[in-house]
Amino acid sequence: MSVTSIEPLGIVEPNPLRVVARSSQPIAYGTPRSSASSARTADPFPAPSSRRSGAQPQAALPVELFERIIEELAVEPDVEDSRTRRALLACALVCKEFHAKSRAVFCKHIAIMRWDRIPGFRALLEANPDFRNLVESIYLSGRTTRDDPSPKRPSGALASFPLYFAGKFPRLRKLHICCMNPKWLYEVHPLFYPVLGQFTSVTMLYMRDVTFSSASHFAALIDSLPNLEWFSCADLRWLRHDQQSLRLPRRTYEKLSKLSLRTSLMSVENTRMLHEFFAAPEHGSGIQRLKVGFLEMHDIQHLGVGRLLHTAGQSLRDLHLSLRAAIDQENGDAAATATPLSLGANTKIQTLTLQIHAFYKEAYDCSWLAPLLESQGSFGQLREVNIHMKLGASTNILSAFLAGISRDDCSRIDRSFTQPHTRKLKHIAWHIYDYTEASVHEAVIFNQMTGLFPRLHARELLRVYYMRAPGPGPEEDEE
């Protein structure tokens, strides 16, 4: 995505596709330069000079090709890429057609990093009302002042944004909220949530590293967006767990169909409350795509995942679970046997992805895997199964694999997915990431896996991908 950063005095911090223009007035794009007042504004995309008279037109490639090239200059909000930014600015100077397309790409994704950037953004829109139709996503971040002990405003950019810009962006579809200090969320205007409900074009909400003062503020924010279809979050927290507020009657989320809950850095209590919020029928009954994790298997019964899966029911088509299956040997065998996950209510799943992480312990338990796969195999709706296993031990990868998955379990999986009613299945793919101390040749791994799953191999349904992973191993929050 290309990202435009709005500064109140035209002073822009270094960031992708951000143009520095120092002036006593807000940055204005595309304004005429014939008047004295317009001389005080800066246009990062000045229109190119007209073609010299008498110049012969050159043969042109299809305009769609040039538009595609310009669109490829988009970058993510957190990516510093000055070369891409300069390339986009250079495209704006080629010709009038390039100027219009480059400006549209530049304004398509807006980033506001501080609450005091709001007035500059507001002034920009007033000077260039046509920009409102270009904005498709807005990135609100408190990264620059996230750790301030006493922020200048208690609620930051998130609390003031909807009050200023409700109804201003007819094509706005995505809000990205990142790095919010909890002190910014203690005080919000009484009209904050009703006004947020006026953003009817927003269908996607992504939140990362946000601390709410209470769980009720999180619930109210989610419920304020009337047409939310896709919610994704990572590392959410709240200081007060007022759980009763999550059980209040709410409107039905008929359109919420995609849900991604990355919980690797969240506490058990916060993770459980997040799952229970979306496990309510008015929130989760229409979910078609669900991604959850990482989850500790020995805590799975306390995290509310089963209820979330049960609520999704037959609407669920694509499920991605990231699980840590290592056994806590210090606490004995009590933690070894995890409560099995049940997908009995999810009879229409077509794609199942499991990411199993057992790197930091030499012992892990996947006795739950065969029953889980067997339950889905009996429904006959699965098209693809992808199992990513990251294993680390002092032994070789073959021994490490069989330490958690028995040969009997492999045989159960092999039989389950070679029955007549599994004709829709395209493949079962094992992605083996080897972090063990002893290396093994790839051909040996393949022969071992075909011996464990002979029926799947005979029907050409077995896929094996082996990656020898050098280095210290994957990060804990990797998904």
pLDDT tier at 317, thresholds 50, 70, 90: very high
Q: What is the DSSP string of 27-38?
A: --SS--SSSTGG
User: What is the residue whose two structure tokens read 């620059």?
Assistant: 144
Which residue, 292, 328, 326, is CA-closest to 474? 326
* CB 397, CB 362: distance < 8 Å: no
Q: Are strands 109-112 and 137-141 parallel, antiparallel or unpaired?
A: parallel
Higher model confidence: residue 263 or residue 39?
Answer: 263
**Residue 472 and residue 479: Cα distance in Å, rounded?**
17
Domain limits, the chain: 1-47+64-107, 136-240, 252-479
Reported as a single tens digit per residue, the pLDDT across 351-407 is: 999 999 876 555 688 888 998 888 776 677 889 999 999 888 777 888 888 888 899
Per-residue pLDDT band for 231 (boundaries 50, 70, 90) equals very high
The answer to whether residue 10 scores a pLDDT higher than 50 is: no
pTM for this prediction: 0.79
Task: Please name the fold of domain 252-479.
Answer: 3.80.10
What pLDDT is stored for residue 12 in this prediction?
A: 34
Among the listed residues 155, 133, 129, the one whose alpha carbon sits nearest the alpha carbon of residue 142: 155
Mean pLDDT of 343-356: 92
The CA distance from 325 to 390, in Å, is: 10
b/e map 227-262, b = 16+ CB within 10 Å: ebbbbbbbbbebeeeeeebbeeeeeebeebbbbbbb
Of 388, 411, 407, nearest to 399 by C-alpha is 407
Torsion of CA 467, 471, 473, 478, to 10 degrees: -80
**Helix/strand/coil (H, E, C) string of 334-354?**
HHCCCCCCCCCCCCCCCEEEE
| pLDDT at res. 78 | 53
DSSP class per residue in 383-423? -EEEEEEEE--SSBHHHHHHHHS-HHHHHHHHHHTTSGGGT
Our CA angle for 422, 424, 426, nearest 5°, is 105
* d(C-alpha 388, C-alpha 323), whole Å: 10
Pairing of strands 318-324, 230-238: unpaired
Instruction: Read off the pLDDT of residues 95-140 as tens digits, 9 standing for 90 and up.
Output: 887 887 887 787 888 878 777 778 888 888 888 888 899 888 888 8
Helices and strands (DSSP H and E) totals, the chain: 15, 13
C-beta atoms surrounding 221 within 10 Å: 20
**Least confident among 158-172, 178-192, 362-376, 405-419:** 178-192
Residue range 411-454, pLDDT digits in tens: 999 999 998 888 899 999 999 998 887 878 888 899 999 999 99
- Among 138-142, 275-279, 314-318, which stretch is predicted with the lowest mean pLDDT? 138-142
pLDDT for the residue numbered 6: 41
3-state secondary structure of 129: helix
Residue bearing the bigger pLDDT, 197 or 394: 197
* Residue 132 · residue 33 · CB < 8 Å: no
